[in-house]
Amino acid sequence: MTKIRSTTVIAIRHNGEVAIGADGQATMGNTVAKSNVKKIRKLQDGKIVTGFAGSTADAFTLLERFDEKLSTYGGNMKRAAIELAKDWRTDRYLRRLEAMLITANKDEVLIVSGTGDVIEPDHDIAAIGSGSMYAQAAALALKKHSSKLSAEEMVKESLNIAADICIYTNHNLVVEKVV
């Protein structure tokens, strides 16, 4: 998978809830360009929520294509993700895009990459971006030891822990729940 720097996005399914969140920092090289970017988007009337890491323009292109695939396949998230990954890998224009997506509905969480991967992560936790390993480790610990927390609370806490460690992640969080 491509290593994307400059953000942290995490999605968690826990106790029948699904939440996805991201920090708001955008960087250009080693400089913070903007601190309140919204990297989370609701699709299909909030039934599917996506988050992106990487080049913003590339991610918006992928989100548009993903939304088209969702419409084509009647809202079937997994099928739309697989078809997007196929196109992303084989299309001459799309394969140059530098971004990754997490997409979630009430039943599943997926990571979609430009290498053709559609990954169903272990433990119902998906993370991408420069702070992803910090957020994922925090989420695993929270899920294992704090079953009283909601998915949304786990996402927030995991992102805050990542922001404390990763210089490409800030504390301006956007978190959405899947309806």
Paired with 112 in beta bridges are 101, 118
d(CA 112, CA 56): 16
Classify domain 8-177 by CATH number: 3.60.20.10
Helices of type H across 34-131: 56-72, 77-90
Of 105, 4, 127, 21, nearest in space to 56 by CA: 4
The catalytic position among 7, 27, 50, 103 is 7
Flag whether pLDDT at 3 surpasses 80: no
* pLDDT, tens only, 27-47: 887 888 889 989 999 999 999
Which of 22-31, 95-104, 126-135 has the highest average model confidence (pLDDT)?
126-135
In the chain, at which residue ranges do the beta strands (DSSP E only) sit? 8-14, 17-22, 26-28, 31-34, 40-43, 48-54, 99-104, 109-112, 118-119, 125-129, 174-177
pLDDT for 4 beyond 60: no
Task: Report CA-CA distances (Å) from 8 to 83, 146, 170, 171, 179.
Answer: 25, 22, 9, 10, 22
Burial 12-41 (b: 16+ CB within 10 A, else e): bbbeebbbbbbbbbbbeeeeeeeeebebbb
**Predicted local confidence at residue 5, as pLDDT:** 54
What is the C-alpha R_g of the chain? Answer: 15
Segment of 60-69, 94-103, 149-158 carrying the highest mean pLDDT: 149-158
> What does the DSSP 8-state code read for residue 177?
E
Residue-wise pLDDT tens digits, 109-168: 999 987 779 999 999 999 999 999 999 999 999 999 877 899 999 999 999 999 999 999
Known catalytic membership, residue 115: no
Separation between Cα atoms, residue 105 and residue 153, nearest integer Å:
18
Task: Work out whether strand 40-43 and strand 48-54 pair parallel, antiparallel, or are unpaired.
Answer: antiparallel
State the average pLDDT over residues 45-65. 89
Q: pTM of this prediction? A: 0.92
Instruction: Write down the domain spans for the chain.
Output: 8-177
